[in-house]
Amino acid sequence: MSDLRDPGDAWVTAEDGNRYWGRFGAAGLLAHDPARGILLQHRVDWSDHGGTWGIPGGARHEGEDAVSGAIRESGEEAGVPPQAVAPRFGYTIDRGGWTYTTVIAEVTSPFEPEITDPESHALAWVPLAEVADYPLHPGFAASWPLLRPLLAGDPDATEAATADALIASGSLVRL
């Protein structure tokens, strides 16, 4: 690991008055494998909301789009091979001067995640029905009820209706 940091690795204060990580915004990858569930990361204690579970992600680099940032970060933190996922949707939360985009992707080639940097206690494939049972990162916990119906093959969800409603609100785009 290099001691050189990207200029995007910094805290910012958004218009809502809260501090967020990522000078150019942040992005995370919601990798869904229909056979195993979603890939969750148990965040180390020293990180923002440490000890919670969320998706691999982090600060975007200057000029980096959200999809590229989410795929890069998931590779850095969880060893996700870029060719193993197919992005389907991008869900963006705008805090006024800072955005976080969840890239919802289907796993097209099964892989085993691996801890590849010091930001994780653990990584796990978690069945959809069990995700809400974990102590989730607050931002992910708030988004999970909106995002779950977008996952292909979720028997408890209506993907088309949910996607259409979020697209109409401007917070979701098809990729």
Q: Of residues 150 and 67, which shows the higher confidence score? A: 67
Residue of 84 and 45 predicted with greater confidence: 84
Given a cut of 80, whether residue 81 has pLDDT beyond it is yes
Q: What is the pTM of this model?
A: 0.88
Could you tell me what percent of the chain has a pLDDT over 70?
91
- Give pLDDT, residue 157: 55
48 or 128, which is more confident? Answer: 128
Neighbouring-strand partners of residue 103: 29, 90
H or E segment to which residue 163 belongs: helix 159-169
Cα gap 39→169, rounded to integer Å:
27
| Residues across the chain | 175
Confidence at 1, pLDDT banded by 50, 70, 90:
very low
- What structural domains and CATH numbers belong to the chain? 19-174 (3.90.79.10)
- How does pLDDT run across 28-57, given as a tens digit for each residue? 999 999 999 999 999 888 888 878 999 999
Buried b (16+ CB within 10 A) or exposed e, 134-160: bebbebbbebbebbbbbbeebeebebe
